[in-house]
Amino acid sequence: MTTTTLAPTTEGTASATAASATATATATVQLAVGGDWLDVCPLSVLIPGRGVAALLPDGRQAAVFRDRAGRLYAVDNTDPFTGASVLSRGLFGSDQGRPFVASPLLKQRFDLETGRCLDEDGVAVAAFEVRAA
């Protein structure tokens, strides 16, 4: 039992009507790093509302999310409060239309568009540009 390779899953969700303006289910999620677009995974792997972690060439990590409307978001995966690389495993939600992720460790929320922490002033994580192409 050592198969941990990625197999693209089939679209299995009722809500992901993929009215996504950006791309179809066969598209690839890409992150802007160092002037290039880094392939992250097939769009179909991203379950709306649930993140994945991606490793960046410089050793940093990104937490990548997709919402029910198909929009994509990415922020640094490291939780600034604990130093653990876990933000991709947090709960994804929206507050007055703004998407956020709540850290799975101590539950602080981060705005996914800006990376700003919503529960403590002056704390933020880096936000990345992300697209489906």
**C-alpha to C-alpha distance for 127 and 47, rounded to whole angstroms:** 20
Distance CA 60, CA 30 (A): 15
The verdict on 94 binding another protein (CB under 8 A) reads yes
- Residue 25 sits in the site that holds another protein (CB under 8 A): no
Q: Please report whether residue 5 would count as binding another protein according to CB under 8 A.
A: yes
Inter-residue contact 74 to 61 (CB < 8 Å):
no
Tell me whether residue 24 or residue 120 sits nearer to another protein (CB atom): 120
114 near another protein, rule: CB under 8 A: no
Is 32 one of the binding residues for another protein (CB under 8 A)? no
CB 110 within 8 A of CB 100: yes
b/e string for 30-63 if b means 16 or more Cβ within 10 A?
bbebeeeebebebbbbbbbbebbebebeeeeebb
Assess 78 for contact with another protein (CB under 8 A).
yes
Q: Residue 64 interacts with another protein (CB under 8 A)? A: yes
Which residues make up the interface to another protein (CB under 8 A)?
A: 1-7, 9, 12-16, 33, 36-41, 45, 47-50, 52-57, 59, 61, 64, 67-69, 78, 82-86, 89-97, 99, 102, 104-105, 107, 109
